Structure formats: structure tokens, C-alpha cells
Amino acid sequence: MTTYRVHKLTKRVYLLRLDDTDTRFFEGIWPIPEGITYNAYIVTTSEGAILIDGWKREFSDLFVEALESVIDLKDIKKIIVHHTEPDHTGSIEILLRLLGNIELLGTQFAKSMLEGFLGRALPFFKPLKDSEKISLGDVELIFLHTPWLHWPDTAMTYYPEEKVLFTCDAFGGYSIPRTVVDSSDDVISEYLPHARDYFANIVAKYSQHVIKAVDKLVSIGIDYKIIAPGHGLVWVNKPDIIVKSYLAWARGERFGGKFKVVIIYSSMYGNVERMISSIVRRLEEQDIELRIYKFTDKTHSNKSDVLGDAIDADLIILGASTYEGSLNPLIDSIVSMICTKFKGLRKRFIIISSYGWAPSADKELTKRLSEAGMEILKNVTYKGRPDKKLIDNISEEIYKIVNELRKA
Ligand code: FEO
């Protein structure tokens, strides 16, 4: 059931977290059976409160209820808009109705985009410069431009006195963590795969901007002790874990763990699956992490998880059935997403494909992956059902490739 939690994070900062179990497809695209949270924050000052971000529009009434559990609504003097995607700004409309033309703060892009989303001019929206100070009573915040995390409008805010960095989409993740902060190693290890899925689905296309933003935070001396994102866990104990994880994913690398092989395949009548099953049996003999995603007549894997596991894989084995003289449309869709979102990450691939009358799937995969700068280590295509000799040979070859890569 969708519900919310209010949590006092520091002397001045409150977290308002909406635990959304209603949304099944984030952005209408990504399956999230694990749910998602939206985190808004209130910073209290001697002269009223600053609200940072918000929730999705459909939860506006709950948002007002949560706000009123902490402060008198009339005490909100400023609203910081880090990012205008409606999962964070949908609740602004009700606040504008209740509070009138309250001061909105964000980037120039955010002003323009929010005007588009709300369908009205917002003359009381004040665009802020990079590193501009936001002052209210005895509190001073620093507004930081961090574009493309995950839209051109995005920014972060730093509260130096309590060393809190509010980051919106950056350093966020899917799921509804059982605690609001990184309270234990168990909570962190449960959560990180969901953060990685979110990164791969939502942020990965802008990986270079993640690296730039972290470089910027370091170069200007942002000495954060708390990372307070717009989704998922708030990091009060081990904030470097999420920052280092994001940096690793932005480079297409693992943050710890074993050598990882991800197998993604489609199989219409078992001819691809027959080969893949043998490869899996052989690879299981090695001390590696092996993740398998399939699109068959029995099951379809969750596409959010496929991308999440692929982004930090050491090797991806793509198995594709040929379909109507071209690529199986389900693999086509996965490969399109990989090539768009992981472009430049130079992931390593092995291609396995089966065909009836035209060996076209492997050609299409080779073309697409090469154009996206991926590395293709091996390409195997065969007509119809593979025989035992071919299966044994290919399984052995792939076993050796993985073994070599692990040692490299
Ligand atoms: Fe969580 Fe890009 O919005």
C-alpha cells in the first residue's frame, strides 16, 4: 500500500518519503515490482522553512498531510526545484494553490520546463546561478548546477552547516527500502541492486555527466556527510558507497563482487536455448556471478533488471533467434536500449544466433553493437537446431574466453 514516512534527519532537516507501490512502470516504461520512493526535504530556519523537491502529482494530498505533520504550511517561504520531472514536481501545483505565488528556485532550464509542465508563466520562479547562496533566517544553502542528472535542468543543493547534499535523481534508486537511511550493511546490500537498476534505466545515458558532477563536487570542496537523494535510501553512515557505486556504473564497471557474466537471450522454439543451456552449465563450473535473462514462450524477464545487470557486467552473452528475416523484436528492443544508454561504455559481447532461412540476426547485432562502440569477442550463428558437436565446441570456447578474461 502506498504510504509515507516523515523522518527527522538532522537538527534542521526533515525527510518526507512517499513509498509508492502503485506505480508499476516507472516513466511508463520500466517495470518496478519493487516500487519506488520520492524523497522531499524540509529545512527549518529561524524565519520559516525551505522545501526541497516534492512528490508525484497523484500523491499531492498525502504530500500536504506529510508537510503539515512537520510545519505549518504558511511557514514554507521557498521551494527549491532541483529537477522538473513530474515525479518530483507533480505536487507543486497544490502548493501554489494553497500558498499563492511562493518563491520557486532552480535553474533557468527548470523555470522554462516547469512552465511547460504547469502550462502557465511562473514570474515568481527565480533562476539561480551556479554556486549562488540561498538564505533564509539563520540558514544558508549553496545551489549547484549539475546538468543532465538526469535532464538539462538538474541541480543539487548543499547545506554546509549540517554537511547535507541534496541530490535529487543522482545517487537515487528504485525500491522501497525497509529503512529510510543506510542503517546496516544488510539494508545497503539489499538496496544497491535496485539503485544499479535505476542508474542503468534512468541515468546511464548521462554517465559522463555523473563523472563530471562528482569531479565538480570534489574540486569545489563539497565536504558532504549525508547524501540526500530524491529516490531511495538517504546515506548518513556510508555516503561514499553510493557515490563510488555511481562512479563505477558510470564507467560500466562493477563496484566489488565477482567477475560477472550476463546472458540475455530469446528463443522461440528452443534452438537458441539449447546452446545457451550448455554454455550456462559449463560456466557454472567457474567462480563467477552468472545472471540469466530470457524471452521465451514460457517467460519474459524484467527489462529494468536486464539493463541493471548488464551495465556492470564483465561480459554479456546475447542469444537471439532470427525473426522474419531480422532480429527477434524483444532482443531488438533490449539491444536498442543498451546501445542508446550504454553508448561509450565499451561493454564486451558474445553473440549467439539461430536462423531458419537467412542468417540476419547476427549481422544486425554486430552492426548495432559496433556502431555503439561495443566490443564483440565472438559471433556464432547456425542454421536451425545446433548439433551436439557444435554445442560442445562453442561451450568450451566460451568457457576458455571467460577464464582468460577473469585472469586478465
Ligand atoms: Fe526522479 Fe528524472 O526524475
User: Residue with the nearest Cα to atom 3 of ligand 1?
Assistant: 85
Q: Which three cell numbers stand for residue 282?
A: 559449463
Q: According to CATH, where is 3.60.15.10 located in the chain?
A: 3-250
Q: Which CATH class is domain 260-407?
A: alpha beta
CATH level 3 topology of 3-250: Metallo-beta-lactamase; Chain A (3.60.15)
Nearest ligand 1 atom to the CA of 85 is 3
pLDDT at 142 exceeding the cut of 90 = yes
pLDDT tens per residue, range 283-330? 999 999 999 999 999 999 999 999 999 999 999 999 999 999 999 999
pLDDT tens per residue, range 163-216? 999 999 999 999 999 999 999 999 999 999 999 999 999 999 999 999 999 999
Q: What order do you get walking across the sheet with 133-136 strand by strand? A: 133-136, 139-145, 155-159, 164-168, 226-229
pLDDT at 400 exceeding the cut of 90 = yes
Q: Which residues contact 364 (CB under 8 A, 6 or more apart)?
A: 326, 327, 332
Q: Which three cell numbers stand for residue 397?
A: 570456447
Confidence grade of residue 277 (pLDDT, cut at 50, 70, 90): very high
Q: Which helix (H) or strand (E) holds 291?
A: strand 289-295
Gap from CA of 345 to ligand 1 centroid (Å)? 22
Q: According to CATH, where is 3.40.50.360 located in the chain?
A: 260-407
As a whole number of angstroms, the distance between CA 298 and CA 184 comes to 38
According to the model, what pLDDT value does residue 284 have?
98
According to the model, what pLDDT value does residue 115 have?
98
Nearest ligand 1 atom to the CA of 231 is 1
- The reply to whether ligand 1 has any atom less than 6 angstroms from the CB of 82 is no
DSSP state, 387? P
Q: Which three cell numbers stand for residue 227?
A: 547524501
Q: What percent of the chain has pLDDT over 70?
A: 100
- The reply to whether ligand 1 has any atom less than 6 angstroms from the CB of 17 is no
As a whole number of angstroms, the distance between CA 123 and CA 161 comes to 31
Q: Of 226, 306, 193, whose CA–CA distance to 13 is shortest?
A: 226
What DSSP string runs through 159-207?
Answer: ETTTTEEEEETTT--SS--SSSB--SHHHHHHHHHHHHHHIIIIIGGGH
Q: Which helix (H) or strand (E) holds 217?
A: helix 207-219
Confidence grade of residue 15 (pLDDT, cut at 50, 70, 90): very high
pLDDT at 18 exceeding the cut of 90 = yes
Confidence grade of residue 1 (pLDDT, cut at 50, 70, 90): confident
Gap from CA of 333 to ligand 1 centroid (Å)? 22
pLDDT at 34 exceeding the cut of 90 = yes
